[in-house]
Amino acid sequence: MATGMLHSHYLFVVLFTLIYLIKTILLLSDRDELLEKFKKKTKVLEIIVSFGFLATGVFLMFQMPHIPTLMYVKIGLVVLSIPLAVVGYKKKNKVLATLSFFLIVVSFGIAQKVKKEKAGGTILAMSGKEIFEEKCTLCHGGDGKLGMSGSKDLSVTQLDHAGIVTIVTVGKNTMASYKSTLSAEQIEAVASYIETDIKGK
Ligand code: HEC
């Protein structure tokens, strides 16, 4: 669900930026007539795209376990760019319009940076399956049955969700604790993956 949302958010952002890029180019190159035509043609599309962009953005924000400071900067820039764009394109003020476009692009860059910083930290960046494949298959194998270095067969584990979360968080014997390498959300995700895709299979 969250991944689908993320993809729609990207799609909306790309469309939104594209519309603005074209508008900015037309404005800067004094193609007033074309700009008016383009504005008319894309009016409805723009409303849909802007709404989708904001709605998916807000939805995703509420999915985040904690909102990084940079995210606020990003939202601030997007919010600031809207009145600038409205005034800029209406009054055909090149400076304001360009500034507005620039803010959108910068906030795009910030979003990428937030994503990179959180690469080790968010449910959106990595699914339970991906975490399992990267961190756990060495000992447990892709199907949980490998049993390397005395590890338990996860397909027959008697542990419930909370039990799995505890073992992964604090570790047990040769299995290290993942408290410092995985976030609480990632541990939740990997535990859910074991429950749905490995246990009893
Ligand atoms: C270095 C090898 C190793 C890695 C890597 C490893 N484990 Fe383990 N795991 C073990 C061992 C050994 C045990 C058995 C511990 C014991 O009971 O003595 C175990 C036990 C478990 C158990 C308890 C099973 C049961 O029924 O008691 C779970 C759940 C588990 N591991 C999940 C994971 C997850 C999730 C990961 C990846 C984040 C992971 N393990 C990575 C070695 C490993």
Q: Mean pLDDT for each 10-residue chunk of the chain (201 residues)?
A: 78 90 91 90 90 87 75 85 86 88 85 64 67 92 89 93 96 92 91 92 83
Q: How far is the CA of 63 from the centre of ligand 1 (A)?
A: 28
Q: State residue 89's pLDDT score.
A: 83
Residue 124's pLDDT is what? 47
The CATH superfamily holding the domain 128-198 is Cytochrome c-like domain (1.10.760.10)
> CB of 168 closer than 6 A to ligand 1?
yes
- Of all protein residues, the one whose alpha carbon is nearest to atom 41 of ligand 1 is 136
Closest residue (by CA) to atom 39 of ligand 1? 136
Question: Long-range contacts for 2-9 (Cβ within 8 Å, ≥24 apart)?
Answer: 2/60, 2/63, 2/123, 2/124, 3/124, 3/127, 5/56, 5/59, 5/60, 5/63, 6/56, 6/60, 6/124, 8/52, 8/56, 9/53, 9/56, 9/57, 9/60
Which residues, in sequence order, are CB contacts of 83 under 8 Å at separation 6+? none
Instruction: Identify the pLDDT of residue 117.
Output: 62
Q: What are phi and psi of 178, to 5 degrees?
A: -105, 15
pLDDT at 120: 47
State the distance from the centre of ligand 1 to the C-alpha of 162, rounded, in angstroms. 14
Question: Residue of the nearest CA to atom 36 in ligand 1?
Answer: 136
Q: CB-based contacts of 196: which residues, under 8 Å, 6+ apart?
A: none
Nearest protein CA to atom 1 of ligand 1, as residue: 175
From the CA of 16, how far away is ligand 1's center (Å)? 46
Angle at alpha carbon of residue 165, lines to 160 and 168, rounded to 5°: 125
pLDDT at position 121, please? Answer: 45
